[in-house]
Amino acid sequence: MFLRFAACLALALAIVVPAEARPFTAKDMATLDRMSDPHISPDGRFIAYNVRSTDWDANRGVNALWVMERGAAGSPPRLIRDQEKAGTQPRWSDDGAWLYFLSSRSGSVQLWRAPAGGAEAKQVTNLPLDVAFYRLAPDSRTIVAAINVFPDCDTLACSKAKQEAKTKVKATGTIYDSATPRFWDTYLDGRYLNLFAIKLSADAPATDAKALTRNYQADIVSRPEGDDSSFIVTPDSANVIFGARPSGSAQGLGDPSSLYIVPIDGSAAVRRIDSTATTSDEAPALSPDGAQLAFLSQTGSVFAAPRAHVMLRDTKSGKTRDLAPNFDRSPTRLDWSTDGTTLYAVADDVGQTRIFAINTTNGAAKPLTGDGHVSGLDVGRSALIYSRDALDSPSQVYALGDNGAAHQLTHVGEETLAQTPMSSYEQFSFTGWNGETVHGFVMKPTDFKSGHKYPVAFLIHGGPYGSFGNAWSYRWNPQVWAGMGYASVMIDFHGSSGYGEAFAKSIIGHWGDRPLEDLQKGWTYALAQYPFLDGDHACALGGSYVGYMIDWIAGNWAKPWKCLVDHDGVFDIRLMSYSTDIPGFQQAQNDAPTWSAPDVVERFNPIDHVAEWSAPILVVHSGTDDRVPLDQGMGAYGAAQLRHVPSELLYFPDENHWVLKPQNSVMWYATVQAWMKRWLGN
């Protein structure tokens, strides 16, 4: 039953017994309930969101769908799904009568719906294959779903049969002829996330779907982090618009994506909206009246940090303009206001991630949110809600009022957080490479006492396009190091996002010098500015690009560090440029193909500086990491061992570029803590 746990949970939420404060730990982080994907009902009464809890013994996350009622003072959230095979991706029908969601309750991932009030749910689809993502047409008669299929198949049954036949073949060899036979953590098998239209019926679950993108050989929702913002249904429920790389293009080369349109009834083939565009276009968003198509557009290689321009296209004339040419930020998503006068854009901005309101007439952009990191955003007819997290808070649902004030609506994980007060932090700035301003953050350890000195975790963000800004992380979380007793310093070096296109692009061809100069100057500034930092007892840590930087530091700036931690890092750029699942990225970063400019590659290649290695180094790598393949980590560890540098290797055979399993995450932190304690003596 929908409400079977509601009374017990309401009581549990109402009675939160204060506990003695203690440090925040890696297990606290791994087991903390996680809120995501909030959506507001059209009338503004309800907000649905996902909460992922942790089944520690099963070593996995468990999703639950929650609904809270706005305006009911003191009313706890109401659970509408039990935690067994629970729901995800809550979406409201346009009339607000129904809440749709995905659930595996039937044995496969299918679409379900429940009345807005929270009665028993009913299954909406019973398809042969799992539904990955979906969009509800405004008329509520059709669902557009992204499903993993063989694109040459006419039906879902065909794809299922084809996959089942492949599993019965005893020979295990596979022949590839594309430049990228694998992606992220999986070898490609000829299936892609394509779009299907599903007619809804009040009588029985739909068992079939109409292929809208047959023979389209590319993922229409990118993996591993894509979502339903990749495609939209037009306001008249007649067409579907999506952004994707070209059909048949090799994954991982960075081919530009384009916008396409297809009738929702499948009566015509997919058509490219602008057949002459040379830009990479994605994230379509239609105005409420369907007259204007907003999208994000990048010029040049998508792997070279081009700014995402906010574009507006008249759907009748095709006339397109850059809405905010002076807005030097790169949004990741766009949403329209209900009156069609404003576009809401989410973008990194000087160590924060904010919602910007862009006037659709004059292109003026202004931030609506302050500090912290905004992720999920949903625009209702009466309110704007979003997810916000920060260095001292996991993600919670907020509402933005008419007066511009933000109001926190959820307190997910409050039982744990009440026991583990978060450590304080502050942002600072200094003069870095080329005399330009660079920003960073410093966090104090738990139980900080003025006048004391504390060992330091010098945490460096990966990407390199990213930010170690004011955001909560379930992989690299400074609060865990604070709980261990360490202060943390984080620098947004040149190449980081949120500081303008030129700042981000400055790292191209300069992996080893400009960012390193920022890190060195930032470290010097932090030691002078914050006397509680013990510069003689510090460890530098990082993953991915920063695993590269750790290996580079080992041969070029080892003196300040008593120890190093290299997680899934690049050790040999030359081999990396050929073996990674995204070789287009490495070519863009080198500003030339490796074979045509080997001197550029070797200029900042860590493998060429192993003779200078001396600092103790912990190497962590995972067996299914195709982004930075295993040989990179094994090479770094082998180099340290052959040089008789104190070193250890932590290997996860069942993880990819991220350590996701709860018990593995806790083991990761425990290993890092033991390594730091060994060399820093804390």
Question: Which two tokens mark 646?
Answer: 């104190």
**Percentage of the chain surpassing pLDDT 70?**
94
Q: Per-residue pLDDT averaged across 5-10, rounded?
A: 34
* Distance (Å, whole) CA 637 – CA 620: 9
The per-residue pLDDT of the chain, averaged, comes to: 93
What tokens does 211 get? 């292929």
Rounded Cα–Cα distance for residues 68 and 78 (Å): 6
How far, in Å, CA of 209 to CA of 111, rounded?
Answer: 13
Beta strands in 410-477 (DSSP E): 425-431, 437-443, 454-460
Coil vs helix vs strand at 622: strand
Each residue's pLDDT tens digit, 276-295: 999 999 999 999 999 999 99
Q: How many CB atoms lie within 10 A of CB 594?
A: 19
Q: Which residues, in sequence order, are bridge partners of residue 541?
A: 459, 565
CA-to-CA separations, 312 to 206, 246, 309, in angstroms, rounded: 36, 22, 10
Kindly tell me if the per-residue pLDDT of 13 is higher than 60.
no
Q: Express as a percent the part of the chain with pLDDT over 90.
A: 87
Distance of alpha carbon 86 from alpha carbon 5, whole angstroms:
13
pLDDT score, position 426 = 98
Mean pLDDT of 162-171: 95
- Residue with more model confidence, 133 or 77: 133
Answer whether residue 9 shows pLDDT above 70. no
Higher pLDDT, 268 or 381: 268
- Pairing between β-strand 46-55 and β-strand 34-40 as defined by DSSP bridges: antiparallel
Report the distance separating Cα 504 and Cα 500, nearest Å. Answer: 6
**322, containing H or E segment:** strand 320-322
CATH architecture of 423-680: 3-Layer(aba) Sandwich (3.40)
Strand runs labelled E in 350-383: 352-359, 365-367, 373-379
By C-alpha distance, which of 175, 281, 251, 222 is closest to 582? 251
Segments making up each domain of the chain, as ranges:
1-123, 124-416, 423-680
HEC-encoded secondary structure of 245-298 = CCCCCCCCCCCCCEEEEEECCCCCCCEECCCCCCCEEEEEEECCCCCEEEEEEE
Tens of pLDDT, residues 219-247: 999 999 899 999 999 999 999 999 999 99
> Candidates 2.120.10.30, 2.40.10.120, 3.30.360.10, 2.60.120.1060; correct CATH number of 1-123?
2.120.10.30
pLDDT digits (tens, 9 = 90+) for 335-362: 999 999 999 999 999 999 999 999 999 9
Mean pLDDT in residue range 60-75: 80
**What is the arithmetic mean of pLDDT over 595-618?**
95
CA-closest candidate to residue 334, choices 360, 304, 315, 373? 360
| Closest C-alpha to 221, from 123, 101, 131, 140 | 131
Asked which of 140-144, 177-181, 507-511 is least confident by mean pLDDT, the reply is 177-181
Number of H helices, E strands in the chain: 13, 38
Report how far residue 633's alpha carbon sits from residue 643's, in angstroms, rounded to the nearest whole number: 15
Query: What does 531-574 look like in DSSP terms, one character per residue?
Result: TTEEEEEEEEEEETHHHHHHHHHHHHS-TT-SEEEEES--S-HH
Question: Is residue 497's pLDDT more than 80?
Answer: yes
pLDDT of residue 5 exceeding 50: no
Q: Identify the pLDDT of residue 11.
A: 32
Whether the per-residue pLDDT at 7 is higher than 50: the answer is: no
Mean pLDDT of 90-112: 93
Structure token digits, residue 518 = 């920022």
Three-state SS sequence of 167-213: HHCCCCCCCCCCCCCEECCEECCCCEEEEEEEECCCCCCECCCEECC
Check whether 77 has a pLDDT greater than 80: no
The pLDDT value recorded for residue 74 is 57
Q: What is the pLDDT of residue 308?
A: 98
pLDDT band at 382 (very low <50, low <70, confident <90, very high): confident
Q: Read off the pLDDT of residues 179-216 as tens digits, 9 standing for 90 and up.
A: 899 999 999 999 999 999 999 988 899 999 999 999 99
pLDDT of residue 635: 98
Q: Is the pLDDT of residue 611 over 60?
A: yes
What order of strands is seen across the sheet that includes strand 239-244? 231-233, 239-244, 258-263, 271-272
Q: Is the pLDDT of residue 4 over 60?
A: no
Question: For residue 354, what are its two tokens?
Answer: 């904010």
Q: What are phi and psi of 283, to 5 degrees?
A: 55, 55
Give yes or no for residue 2 having a pLDDT over 50. Answer: no
Q: Note if the bond before 224 is cis, omega within 30 degrees.
A: yes
Q: Containing H/E element for 638?
A: helix 630-642
pLDDT at site 75: 63
Q: How far apart are CA 314 and CA 591, in angstroms?
A: 36
The answer to whether residues 383 and 397 touch, using CB atoms and an 8 Å cutoff, is no
The CA-atom distances, in angstroms, between 291 and each of 170, 236, 314, 336, 345 are 54, 11, 6, 12, 19
Note the pTM of the prediction, 2 decimals: 0.94
Cβ-Cβ contacts under 8 Å for 546 (sequence gap 6 or more):
460, 461, 462, 464, 569
Q: What is the pLDDT of residues 429-457, one digit of tens each?
A: 999 999 999 999 999 999 999 999 999 99
DSSP letter at 125 equals B
Q: Domain 124-416 sits in which CATH superfamily?
A: TolB, C-terminal domain (2.120.10.30)
Question: Long-range CB contacts (< 8 A, 24+ apart) of 63-68?
Answer: 63/87, 63/88, 65/90, 65/101, 67/99, 67/118, 68/397, 68/409, 68/410
User: What's the Rg (C-alpha) of the chain?
Assistant: 25
pLDDT band at 117 (very low <50, low <70, confident <90, very high): confident
pLDDT value of position 99: 93
The two domains 1-123 and 124-416 share their CATH topology (first three levels equal): yes
What mean pLDDT comes out for the span 472-496?
97
pLDDT at 76: 63
Question: Could you give the C-alpha distances from 511 to 293, 515, 549, 640, in angstroms and in order?
Answer: 37, 7, 8, 22
Q: What is the mean pLDDT of residues 29-46?
A: 94
pLDDT value of position 402: 73
